[in-house]
Amino acid sequence: MNIEDFRNHCLSKNGVTEEFPFDETTIVFKVAGKMFALTNIDLFESISLKCDPEKALELREKYACVRGGYHLNKKHWNTIDVNADMEDNEILNWIDHSYQLVFDKLPKRVKDTLITD
């Protein structure tokens, strides 16, 4: 996976914005102001994604390229090495999972403003 594929997939989701709240190299993707994905745009060696706590543990046990979120709450975040022996579709599914976790917790009135047909 490359940075453009990652960025385009994140931005294809309803209501997603990209920001640089930490520094000029860490791009953060948010839905309704809530973070669901981030990466370093200069290195693009790994991405961090929100994850269901039980699934996060399962993925860490199953894949050597998945570890607890770097500088994040390790219960709810995974960091994935993107250059590992991992199918891009698998990573795209994890991005979808991360987005959906955040989206599902938004208030209904906010969700309604983000949903497009």
What pTM was computed for the model? 0.92
What percent of the chain is predicted at pLDDT more than 90? 75
Give CA separation, 34 vs 60, 79, 82, 101, 104, in Å.
Answer: 24, 18, 23, 10, 11
Q: pLDDT below 70 — which residues of the chain?
A: 116-117
